Structure 1
C-alpha cells in the first residue's frame, strides 16, 4: 500500500481523543458545542491540504470539494463522501484513551486491569480474524469513537492522497462531515444543493466488506398514561395505576417482535424508556421494519393498543403519539444501482469480500436519499460501536481508505451510467 495510507490510523487516533458526544435533549444544532472543536480542526486540515471551497457553517457542518481533473470532454458524476463527527450519548466519550495492540495474538485483551474488563474472544469471536494485525481498543472506561471518526479519518486520508497525486484522474469529489447523527439529526440541515454531489456514500458502516443500501423504516412512538392515585387502603374500584397500565400496553404488542428476538429483515417494537408513578406514566418506543407495508401495520397496531386502553379505562386514559423518523433508502437507491456495483467491484479489486447486508438501524444516507442525494453506506472497519468493547483494526482502515480511492477512480470509467 501507499505510504500515505498509513496516515489513516494516525488521523483516527488524533480525532478519537476529542470529545464530540452529541446530546438528544438539546434543541440547538450542533447539540453540543464541543463537536465544533473537531469541525474546526477538520476544516483547517482540509484547507492546509488544498481542498477547495472549505466551509464550516453555523450548524456545525463541514464541507469541502476537490475539483475534477478530467480532460475536456470527459465526464463523471460528482461523487460525495460523508461521515459524522459526533459520538453516541449511550456511553462516555470523555477522556478517550485508545490502546494500540500490535501484532494481536488472537487471544482475549485486557482493556482495564483495575476493573477487570476484558475484550473476550468467546464473546466476540470475529476478533480472531485480525490475528497478526494491529487493533485499536478502548481502555474499558469509554467508547472509542470509531463510529464515525474512523470514517472521517478514511475520507480525510483519501482526500490527501488525491491532492498528492494530481496525475490520478477523477471527477468532482465532494466531502462533508456532519454533527448530531447519533441523535437522529445529522441530515436535518444538510445543504444538499451546496454540497454539490450527484450521488454519495456515507462511510459509517461496520466490519470491512459491509456495503448497505437497505435500512429500517423508522418511527418513534410515545404513550402517556393517565391514572388515578388513591390511598391503597381505600383504592378498590377507584385507583387506576398508570404504571400497571403501561405494563398492560406493552403486553398488547407482539411478544417476539422485540429486538432481543429479531435479526436480518425482522422488525420490532423497542421499549426504550419507561418512567412515572401511579398517577401518570410515560413509555417511549422505537418502531422499526424494513418492509414498508409491515412498518405501517406496526404503527397502526401501536395506535390500536392505545385505543383499546381508552376503551377499557375511559377516553383520554392513553395519549398515543407516533412520528416517522426515516424510511428505507432501498427504493431511492435502486435507480442508481451502479453505486453498489462500483463499490462491489472496487472491493473485489482489493480482495475484500463484499457483504451486502440490511442495516438494522439508519444512517444519514437514508434521509439524504429522500432529500435527493442517493447515498448508500460503506464500512469503516469498526466493531462493537457505542460501548467499552469497541475496537477497530488499523489495517482495515488503511484498506478502506484505498477502497474510497478506487471507487472515485472507477467513477471515471462509469461516466454516463
Structure 2
C-alpha cells in the first residue's frame, strides 16, 4: 500500500513568499457533502467574521482547558456572541493524563445540565487532547452535534485537528476508544502559537517533519533549510509549514477518510511512539516527543528492510534532534523489546496479532508493512541502548 498522491508542488522560498499575512489562507478537506475549510492566518480567533456561516443554533459551547481558557476563551466568547444567543464554557484539566472517560463525562454533564439540544455547536479550543475529546463528545451527544476545531498548539494545527479522528485513551492503548467524526470548520489562528511553551512547540514540529518522509521530499528539504526560522517562530515560515502540512493531510484524508489504506501513512513513527507513551505513562513524554523518537525508530526499521540508506536515517535523526526532540527511545523494563512488542500489539494497525509499521523510502513514498518480531526487536534495542 504505497502513497501514490502527487505532492502537489515543490516547497521552497518562493512558496514561503506567497503566504498571505492577515487574510486567512483556506485549505479544503474534500469529503463531498461533509467537506469543510481549514482557515489559516493571524488574528482569526478574535474576528467575528471568522465564525460566520457556522450551523445556526441557540447555544455554542467552548470546551477548553485550565491552561488555554485563561488566554483565549474570553476573546472567542466575544467573537461568537454576535452569532449565538448563548455562549457557554467548559474548562477541563490540562494534559494527556486527563484524556479519559471521567474527563469526557464532564463535557456531557455540562451539556445536559444546561439543556443543550442537538443543534448545539461545540468548539474545541486547545491542543490535541481537547480537540480529540470535544470531537468525541460531539460525535456521541444526542448521536451527533456539530463541532469546530480551534487548535492552539502547533501539533494540533498541523495534524490532530484535521481529518476527523476523535478519541480518548485507555490504560492499555492510546486513542483506542473513539470515532471518525468530521468538524464543520478548522480555525488555525497562528497568533496562538506565541504563547506555546518551547517544549510543546518542538513537539508540534515532529508532526510537521513527518510529512516530508511520507509524502513530499521537497518539503523535507525546506524544513531542513528553514529549521532555524521555524525554531524562532518566524511568522512567514510557520505559516507556510502549517499550510503545507494541512494541504498534505487534506489530500490524504480526502482519498481515505477512515484509514482503510492510504491514510495509515500519516502514522509514520506513531506505532513506536504510542508504545513509548503508554509504557512510560501518558504525559511523561509529550505525544510529539514520542512521535519524533518513533520516526527515528521507523526510519531505522526502514533501513533494516533495505528501503533507505543509513545516511537517510542519520539525516532524519539530526533534523529531529535539531527540532528539540528526543532521538533515543526510553527503556521500558528489564525485557525492553518484549514490553514494546506487547504494547504495539494493541496498535490500531495491527491485524491478526501481526504488528504493521509505516516504512518509507527516500522518494517520499510510504507503505504499511508487517515486520517479523525479531527485526522489530533489533530496532528497539539499537535505538534504546
So what's the TM-score if we normalise by structure 1? 0.25
So what's the TM-score if we normalise by structure 2? 0.26
Q: Which has the higher strand share?
A: 1
